[in-house]
């Protein structure tokens, strides 16, 4: 296998925007690492879903970016969208709290389903900083090259677009603020929705209604946050 030939299954709008990254030395090393990992361990999400966030949200359609950290590392959980789980999978605690805040903010009933593809299809880029993880080992694929890639994604969005709403929940996501041009984009910050910090300011942040207000003021269609 020639690991220097990289042709990711990613939406053409992103492939064009990020072509220089896929041909870079760090991405080749990342691919080598992933091949080695897959020969020894179970990796999440499945290969076809690694770039799901990009394939559901065309670069030209981005309205909102929500930044997560790692994919979920439990069986069947990760589907390539941050905070999201595939249909039929039990909702993790952070996602439960996200839905609770959504209900408090906009009165939307808490859905049974935790799959956020509907948000992504409307222009909400659900971006994890690290796109893969070893089964049952949180953070196992950090500092292998994914962060270089996703930091570039944030920078390119900031550089090439205007009026995007960036959602930074928790310290990890807020460290990405340095890649965002605050003179042409909007940033909303709050504690992480994890049970450890949700009561420190995530609950009551009203980010969902604020996002729609920002979009409305720009003459853009609001996000329909209902899952079901």
- Whole-angstrom CA distances from 32 to 27, 37, 129, 145 are 9, 9, 19, 11
Task: Single out the residue of 72, 56, 76 nearest to residue 64, CA to CA.
Answer: 56
Give the span between the Cα atoms of 219 and 22, in whole angstroms: 35
C-beta contacts of 180-184 below 8 A and 24+ residues apart: 180/154, 184/158
> And the tokens for 172?
């990890």
Catalytic residue among 70, 105, 151, 181: 70
- Whole-angstrom CA distances from 119 to 17, 215, 226 are 22, 14, 8
Size of the chain, expressed as the number of residues it contains: 228
Active site residue 224: no
Residue 176's Cα: distance from chain center in Å? 13
Residue numbers annotated as active site: 70
């Amino acid at each position: 296998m020639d690991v220097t030939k990289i042709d990711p299954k990613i939406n053409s709008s992103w492939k064009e925007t990020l072509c220089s990254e896929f041909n870079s030395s760090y991405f080749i090393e990342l691919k080598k690492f992933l091949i080695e990992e897959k020969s020894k361990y179970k990796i999440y999400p499945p290969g076809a879903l690694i770039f799901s966030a990009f394939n559901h949200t065309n670069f030209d359609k981005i309205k909102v970016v929500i930044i997560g950290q790692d994919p979920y590392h439990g069986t069947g959980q990760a589907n390539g969208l941050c905070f999201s789980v595939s249909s039929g999978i039990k909702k993790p605690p952070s996602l439960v709290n996200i839905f609770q805040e959504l209900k408090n903010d906009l009165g939307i009933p808490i859905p049974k389903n935790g799959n956020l593809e509907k948000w992504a299809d409307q222009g909400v880029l659900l971006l994890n900083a690290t796109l893969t993880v070893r089964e049952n080992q949180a953070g196992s694929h950090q500092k292998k090259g994914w962060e270089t890639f996703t930091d570039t994604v944030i920078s390119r969005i900031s550089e090439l677009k205007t009026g995007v709403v960036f959602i930074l929940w928790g310290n990890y996501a807020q460290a990405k603020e340095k890649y965002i041009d605050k003179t042409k984009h909007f940033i909303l910050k709050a504690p992480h929705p994890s049970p450890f910090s949700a009561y420190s300011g995530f609950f009551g942040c009203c980010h969902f209604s604020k996002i729609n207000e920002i979009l409305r003021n720009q003459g853009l269609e609001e996000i329909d946050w209902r899952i079901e």
